[in-house]
Amino acid sequence: MILSLLVAAASADEMQLSACEFWQPIGGTAGFANGLAAIRTNAQTYGAGAFARERLRGDDVLALDMHVVVGAAQVPVWCSDTTGKHAQSVYSQPLDVGATNLGLAIPLIQDGPLNLRARVFYASSVAQAVMGARALSWSMPLLNLYPAVAAPVIGRSSTGRGLTMYAVDWIGGGYLASDIVSVQAGYTGTRGLYVDVTQEKVALFFNTVLGDGVSLSDAQYLVGGVQQFDVEQLGADDPGFGLVSLFYRDLPQADADEEVGGGAGLVDRLQTGHFRQEDMFGRYDLRAAWQFGAQGRLRELAVAYHTEGWYQREHRERQEERLFYARAGIVNLPDQPTLGVRGGVRPTARLDYIYDVGTTETLALRASFQYNDPDLLDLYPFAYNALGVHVELTMSLDD
């Protein structure tokens, strides 16, 4: 393995880590607009909120997610070099996006009345865009570990200069869970209020970050509905229905040409409805999503196969140390000329692997490869044909 890495590094060195030493992006191109959209999106606010909900509501005390999307945008650039493959020519330079999410939770009450549990949590998100240095793209999630730990000290930061971006955001708050309702709330670095309310028995939930005010119109994003309803939570046997989800999501979309101004009516929200039936007969998933609005359409349709125990259900023990997940389907994007996106159906695929260290579920490592992932395309519509690589580390308290 180490030898392979060294050989790969040596090969990369021979090929040049950077295709061109001195380059400049060309304005007015769709690729340049995509690059601007990639760095201006406030995806990290949604990213931090979704991370807090998905990863910090259970028994986990540490969650670390590292993501890299290579080729999120392709930007035409002029190479001023006098020698080299792209010297004195216009070529397409990939823009890579990376993110590091860190979450920590400290239990305060473990088993109170009505099964009450209380914890304080901290979640941070550091996002970065890199062009022209693929080696840096692969290393940036690890390099951003320190800013992820110290996000409140660094403060909420978002810097876009040219086509480079560095953004930090964080949430600090508390989580109170009981048999009746669970509430997770916190303060975000963007001076907003993060709120997640969930009724665990019927899996009814509502999740948002409120900005300047407390009305729904101030929401930076909204997600609500039923997520992973399990009949076993009501004391019934599951004949194989699995986990059922039906929820609505409203996400902000980046405006690539906001500096140009004068635009009117540009779709700036993505409103979608999602249906999922997961863990059917312990092995199969079905996912579908519908996009609302002027270009309403079936947005996603996919099926997945996974090993038993992939989903951690409350009344079942995970038996396997190694778990696999494979998903394939279609994603259907609308026309978005501003980003140079011609709408249509594209294939989507995802492969995941979990290594649960021991059977005590105290430490788990998850690796994921994603191609045209619908969740990524919801945030970066132009990132089709990009490859996403995710690594997640989870640590929970031993029972």
Least Å distance, CB 348 to another protein, is 16
Q: For residue 334, give the DSSP letter.
A: P
Tell me the C-alpha distance between 216 and 222, whole Å: 8
- Give the residue with the Cβ less far from another protein, 234 or 260: 260
Tell me the C-alpha distance between 26 and 30, whole Å: 10
Nearest 5°: phi and psi at 240? 130, 5
**DSSP E strands: which ranges in the chain?**
23-25, 60-79, 89-109, 117-131, 157-161, 164-177, 182-188, 193-199, 204-210, 219-230, 243-252, 269-280, 284-291, 297-306, 322-333, 344-357, 363-371, 387-396
- Give the residue with the Cβ less far from another protein, 7 or 303: 7
Rg (CA), the chain: 22
List the one residue out of 94, 21, 99, 114 whose CA is nearest residue 66.
99
- Give the residue with the Cβ less far from another protein, 115 or 385: 385
Tell me the C-alpha distance between 14 and 12, whole Å: 5
- Give the residue with the Cβ less far from another protein, 80 or 110: 80
Tell me the C-alpha distance between 397 and 241, whole Å: 30
- Give the residue with the Cβ less far from another protein, 187 or 369: 369
Least Å distance, CB 264 to another protein, is 6
Least Å distance, CB 55 to another protein, is 25
Least Å distance, CB 307 to another protein, is 22
Tell me the C-alpha distance between 207 and 54, whole Å: 11
Q: Which residues bind another protein (CB under 8 A)?
A: 1, 4-5, 7-8, 11-12, 19-20, 26-30, 33, 70-71, 74, 76, 78, 80, 86, 88-94, 96, 132, 134, 138, 256-257, 260, 262-267, 294-295, 334-340, 342-343, 385-387, 389
Tell me the C-alpha distance between 27 and 31, whole Å: 9
Least Å distance, CB 388 to another protein, is 10
Least Å distance, CB 70 to another protein, is 5
Pairing of strands 387-396, 363-371: antiparallel
- Give the residue with the Cβ less far from another protein, 151 or 254: 254
- Give the residue with the Cβ less far from another protein, 5 or 153: 5
Least Å distance, CB 373 to another protein, is 14
